[in-house]
Amino acid sequence: MADNYVKLIDVDTGFIIVSSNMRVEIKYGQFAISLANSSCNDMYKLFSDFITHNHYLEMAQQLQKKSILPRLIGEDVIDLIFKDLYAPTTQLLAKDDISPQQAMAISRLLLHELKYNFMNDKQIDLNHLINYIPLIFVSDEVHQHIRKMLLTNTSAFTSDLQNEINQLNIPMSIMTLDDGTPVTVYEIENTLSYLVLDLQKYFLSKKRVVECHNCHKLFYPNYRKSEIYCRYKHADGSKTCNIKMQHSTDDDFAKLARRARGYQHSRCYNSSTQQKYNKTPDFLPSLYEEWSTECRQHHIYFKELDDFKGFQKWVDDTKFTANELEKRFQEYSNKK
């Protein structure tokens, strides 16, 4: 922990994460996609259960309150506290396109940051766990922002959250390999820095993700951009979405969502609408992407409730009629 940085070596197709005893390459975009597809609740529960039931951490807090331990906790105590968190964190991260080895590397970086947060806190406060856990793993707002970024939703690029992220400074240097090839080396001290670099390289590449129409996870199409079902295995060990959906028909919720998307897309991209709002080219794409994200969320919500009428009402209430488009445009203009 004396060196608070982890090195990322840029090798044109991805980053090699370099720590004291590990070298693992992760392709561009994989880390961001894994975050967008992960559950904030699962990660928060893992951390909160571990921290609140950690005997060493509770003891350190009590000793600190009684002034037996110094205000800044030592590295040896921190290592003792977090020694058993590595395995469950790795297990949680190793899914979809993230291999066990890659999950191990990400876990090391995550625990490196978590330990650093505790070491530099003036007083342990187990009642405010969110102060210690990196937000990119447990914040729904951040996950939605990452999803919008990956789907190139233009509203994400000018959001307040993105403006804060843009202020991040990441140290870098150039290293020459034995064969004379120069590579860029970044020194990062937290997972947010890795995420920012990962998204940057994602946008500089030509590959783009799409959203699975069944499980709603993001994935890279293998053969064509029109693929609509992913190849991720479900947690229960059942078939992947692309195999499962080959032999199943859409339910009423999926049919309604598909029809609604078609209607909204045609309303935004027909020639007359495009001509009317051509002086503000970002408005219609941003509007459609925002609605599409909400449609996915409401689809899942109402299906879990088995409330088809509720989903139908939401679809009807949000239709892009001429008046609704004008109303949305005024709201969009007022934000500028």
Q: What is the pLDDT along the chain (336 residues), one digit of tens a residue?
A: 445 578 899 998 999 998 767 789 999 999 999 999 998 889 888 888 887 787 777 776 676 666 655 555 667 777 777 788 889 999 999 988 899 999 999 998 888 888 877 766 656 666 666 677 888 998 888 898 899 899 887 777 777 778 878 888 888 899 998 888 899 999 988 899 999 999 999 999 888 998 888 888 999 988 776 788 888 887 666 688 888 777 655 678 888 998 998 899 889 888 888 889 888 877 888 888 889 889 988 998 998 888 999 999 999 999 999 999 999 999 888 876
Q: Sheet holding 182-188: strands in order across?
A: 22-27, 14-19, 6-10, 182-188, 172-176
Residues 157 and 253 in one domain: no
Residues 121 and 264 in one domain: no
Alpha helices in the chain, H assignment, sequence order: 30-37, 40-52, 55-65, 75-82, 86-93, 100-119, 135-138, 140-150, 154-157, 160-165, 191-204, 241-244, 252-269, 271-276, 283-305, 308-317, 322-335
User: End of a domain among 161, 181, 213?
Assistant: 161
96 lies in some domain: yes
pLDDT of the residue at 247 = 62
152 lies in some domain: yes
Strand partners, 211: 218
Residues 140 and 257 in one domain: no
Residues 157 and 254 in one domain: no
Residues 130 and 253 in one domain: no
Residues 149 and 279 in one domain: no
171 lies in some domain: no
Phi/psi at 97 (nearest 5 deg)? -90, 0
206 lies in some domain: no
184 lies in some domain: no
314 lies in some domain: yes
Residues 132 and 15 in one domain: yes
Residues 156 and 253 in one domain: no
User: End of a domain among 161, 177, 194?
Assistant: 161
User: End of a domain among 121, 140, 161?
Assistant: 161
Query: Which helix (H) or strand (E) covers residue 174, if one does?
Result: strand 172-176
**pTM strictly above 0.75:** no
pLDDT of the residue at 4 = 55
Question: Residue 279 to residues 27, 112, 282, 329, 334: CA-CA distances in angstroms?
Answer: 38, 48, 9, 12, 15
Number of domain units in the chain: 2
202 lies in some domain: no
Token pair recorded at residue 251: 């339910």
Burial state string for 116-129 with b = 16 or more CB within 10 A and e = fewer than 16: bebeeeeebeeeee
Q: Which domain holds residue 303?
A: 249-335
Chain CA centroid to CA 64, Å: 35
Residues 254 and 153 in one domain: no
pLDDT of the residue at 10 = 94
Looking up tokens 């339910």 gives 251
Residues 150 and 261 in one domain: no
Residues 126 and 265 in one domain: no
Confirm if 19 and 201 have CB atoms less than 8 A apart: no
281 lies in some domain: yes
